[in-house]
Each structure stands twice: as structure tokens, then as C-alpha cells.
Amino acid sequence: MLSPLSSPHSSSKSSLSPKLELVTKGLRPIKSYGYSMFERGTTPDQMMLSRSRQRSSSAPGLLLERQHAPQALPQSERGLRGAECLREPTLACIGSAVDIATYSELPDIEEPVLQVGEWVFHGDMTVLYDGSRCLSNSTVKMGNAMPCGRRPTVGEGEPTLVAVKSVNKKDDAESVAMLRREIDILSELGDSHCNILPLLYGAELPFELVLLTRYAPGGDLSGYMPRNVPVVESEVRRLSLQMLNGLRHLHRRRIVHGDIKPENVFLVEADGGMLLRLSDFGLSRKVPEGERFVQLPGVQGSYGYIPAEIIESGRLYFEADVFAHGVMIFRYLGGYDPFYPPSKVKDPVEFDESTWEDLSPAAAEYVTQLLSTDPEVRGSADHLLTSHRWLQENVVDCKGGMRSANVHFLDQEAAHDLWMKS
């Protein structure tokens, strides 16, 4: 997480570093190319690197290899100050020039380096998700990075695990618009709430859009929660409290997330519990002041989490996030989905007695309200947090049974304290 801001409601915007003079002592530039060409967790070997040298006139975004023995480049390949500045066709072309001087003075730092905005990557990058050839058209990679200006001292200092999400602007217009919207929303939010994954850097470049966030080592909620197994009530309640606090913060900023689901909730483990962080704001919308909803051009969202009003009229209310949250809470309490098939969101919810009999009556009341077809009946995140008895009262879990107790979430006070200290 970023360093705490002076105000919990303030936002932080990074500025690009000034272009730095290239100092090429002891360095031989080589062509950098898409990390998707490598196996996960690996770096290109020397033979692959030597085969990949090509000419280019562009300086920003360099992947550099230390030259262990004196070796002059052929005259035809000489560029700025006798060194060739070669450009990555996709990811590495973003950001300003690398401060090569910092690395040229550290003989034991032999990893390639790459700068994206104010973050300098070194070592290999792992492809977490490559959707460049499917519907999402985005690519997500992860690597070790340090803020620009911080010297990478051998054996000292821990780099930050950073996730890089990028979209080629030649891809379909919808994917580009989604990432552009996500950068705008996250730039406005800054690091303003413990339950929202903050933006480290975002930019629109001539050929790409890119954003950087902290990597969440705990994965997402879909991988953490057991499948088709009910979870103990107290843990689901803590999960709900964290998520609603994040949603309340968004809604007070007049932002509807628009795609709440387990895959868009990342986890950070600390003090024996999980901190939830909402992410993926590509479908988010700003609701104008004085308005209750945004009119969508069509149905949007993820199958199984879309409320009736979007399906029928394309109206996106703040309470659409509350409905999607209700689908998740029902599944975790009941061990099954509330609607079958998932598109039948107007059908009454059925409570299996064998699953729900050991839960408090307030839990069933809570999910029934969240899954209402009427946005006003669902209520706002703020109203639920301050008035619903299931969230106000302590829950006592029943002993025994088939409920999973292998998950643990921080209570909201602990989650906030952790964020403030980070």
C-alpha cells in the first residue's frame, strides 16, 4: 500500500520523472521484447538476448544488460553516445528513460531494468493474465519495482511487487475505453480508503494505455473462499462489513463500481486476517449530482451479478453494487447460488432449511433485502452499515456442522489501522 496521505479523502497523482541523460558506461543496450514470450518466472538467457538486437531510434523504455567484457557495437548499430537505444514494442516503451547511471555504478546488480512512470522494474516479470487475444484484450503482468530515485543497493531494501495492466490502443474501442475509465476513476480516488486498491501510476500513451497497482499476494476472493461450501457466519459478516465500507466510500464519491464479483476483490493478508480491496473499475460510472442512476447503452456487468433494473431498462443505480454484493453473501452463507439459472433474478430466493437452520434469522433477512428487485428496498451501503441488525450485532457461530472455518477476515477497525500504518 502507498504511504498514508495527509487526509483520508485526498488523492495522490504521480508526475512523470524528467527525461534523464543516458550514461552508457559499461552497458550494452539490447532489444527488449514481450515478456509473454518467456515462461512464467523466467528471464531471457544470453543467447536469446544476443539474437534479439535490433536498431531503433527511440530512447524511452530500455531493457539493459550489463556488458561483462569490453565489446564495441558495429558502426552500423551505434546510436546515442555509441550505444543503441532500442525500444520494446509493447510494455517497455511506456514511461520515461531509465536512469542508467544508477545501475552502471552497481556491478553486482545484473538484472535488466525498465522504467514505467516513476517505477523502475528489475528482474523478470510474470504474466498473470494474458487476455490480449480474448474478449478482455488486456494483459496483466507482475514484477519487482522501486520508486525512481531510490538506489537499488545490493543485499538491502525490498522491492515492491507491482502489477502492470496494459491495453494496446489498436485493440477494440470498448477495451480501450474501459481502461481509460479505470485510470480516470482510480486517479480521482487516490489512496483514499483501505478497501480500495490504489493506483500507483496510470497513463495514456500514443500506442498503449497502462496502469500500475500494488500486487495483492493473497489473490482474489474467488480463489480464497471455498466453493459450494457454506462459511461460518461471523466471517461472512466481517467480509460484508469490509465490502460495504468500500462501496460506501465509492458511492459517496458518486461512483458506481458496476462489476462487483469475487474476481474483482483482491486480498492482502496481515495480522492473521484478510484485508479486502475492491479493484477493476473498467465498468464504473459517475452518477451526476442530483441523479439517482446512469442510463447505460445496454446491459453491462458479469453474468449472475446483474440486477433486474439493468436487464430491463439499462438503469445503473448505486444499489446495483449492493445487489451483486448480496449474490456473494448468499453464496457464502448458503453454499449455493441464489438464482438458477443466474439470469432469473426476479424469481423468489429459496432457503434450503438444512443449510440455513444454523444461521441467525437476521442473516436471511439481510440477504433477502440485498437481493430485492427494487433498488430502494435494497437500501444504500451507508444505510445498511448504520441500521441493519445483522451488521450491528455480534454473531455467535454454531458449533459443529459442515461450515468452513478456514477463512478469516479483519474487522473494519483492524483493516483501517493496517492501512494507516502501511
Query: Hey, where are the domains in the chain?
Result: 27-214, 221-421
Q: The domain 27-214 belongs to what CATH superfamily?
A: Phosphorylase Kinase; domain 1 (3.30.200.20)
CATH number at 221-421: 1.10.510.10
What pLDDT band is residue 27 in, cutting at 50, 70 and 90?
A: very low
Instruction: Give the highest mean pLDDT range of 132-136, 239-243, 389-393.
Output: 239-243
Average pLDDT on 372-395 reads: 95
Higher-confidence residue of 140 and 272: namely 272
In whole angstroms, give the CA distance from residue 317 to residue 286. 10
Residues 6+ apart with CB under 8 A from 78: 84
Q: State the pTM of this model.
A: 0.73
Task: Please determine, for residue 387, whether its predicted confidence score (pLDDT) is greater than 60.
Answer: yes
pLDDT exceeds cutoff 80 at 18:
no
Q: 59 pLDDT exceeds 50?
A: no
According to the 3-state scheme, what is the secondary structure of 167-207?
Answer: EECCCCHHHHHHHHHHHHHHHHHCCCCCCECCEEEEEECCC
The mean per-residue pLDDT over the stretch 222-251 comes to 94
Give pLDDT, residue 130: 65
For range 383-393, the mean pLDDT: 95
Is a pLDDT exceeding 50 seen at residue 90? Answer: no
Per-residue DSSP letter, 245? H
Instruction: Dump pLDDT digits (tens) for 406-421.
Output: 899 999 988 998 888 8
Residue 85 has pLDDT above 70, yes or no: no
* pLDDT of 394 above 60: yes
pLDDT at 295 over 70: yes
How much is the average pLDDT of 145-155? 60
- CA distances to 35, 164, 267, 279, 419 from 125, rounded to whole Å, are 7, 10, 21, 21, 27
Q: What per-residue confidence (pLDDT) applies to 400?
A: 65
The pLDDT of residue 343 is 87
Predicted confidence (pLDDT) at residue 149 exceeds the cutoff of 70: no
Q: What is the largest CA-CA distance in the chain?
A: 80
Q: What pLDDT score does 402 carry?
A: 82
